[in-house]
Amino acid sequence: AQSVSQHNHHVILSEAASLELGCNYSYGGTVNLFWYVQYPGQHLQLLLKYFSGDPLVKGIKGFEAEFIKSKFSFNLRKPSVQWSDTAEYFCAVNGFQKLVFGTGTRLLVSP
């Protein structure tokens, strides 16, 4: 069965710090990987996606993620976070038509 692990449940950073959120997945087939973000009071929004090709994908708001097949990982990065990045971040893998999500990481950025 597919599964997704997000190692950091809560992360607290100061503005301008660099961010890396870990995501590991377990899935035997061709993977499509996603990061979704949920800002306070808002619905889930797609941050970025990987289907194939260049393993380094860029998303909205300066986020990027790197797919490392040998490590079954799809870590999310941002070189310099802003207070407005405070949100919950979910990694997901598309397996057999449905999305399987990790438990999420709550990011708090202090000004």
Partner 1 sequence: DTGVSQDPRHKITKRGQNVTFRCDPISEHNRLYWYRQTLGQGPEFLTYFQNEAQLEKSRLLSDRFSAERPKGSFSTLEIQRTEQGDSAMYLCASRSGTHYEQYFGPGTRLTVT
Residues that bind partner 1 (CB under 8 A): 4, 32, 34, 36, 42-46, 49, 51, 90, 92, 94, 96-104
Residues with Cβ < 8 Å from 51, sequence gap 6 or more?
32
Dmax (CA) of the chain: 42
- What's the closest the beta carbon of residue 33 comes to partner 1, in angstroms? 10
| Residue (32 or 86) nearer to partner 1, CB | 32
In order of 5, 48, 76, the CA distances from 11 in angstroms are: 15, 20, 13
- What's the closest the beta carbon of residue 46 comes to partner 1, in angstroms? 5
| Residue (43 or 69) nearer to partner 1, CB | 43
- Give the integer Cα–Cα distance in Å for 14 and 27: 35
| Residue (29 or 79) nearer to partner 1, CB | 29
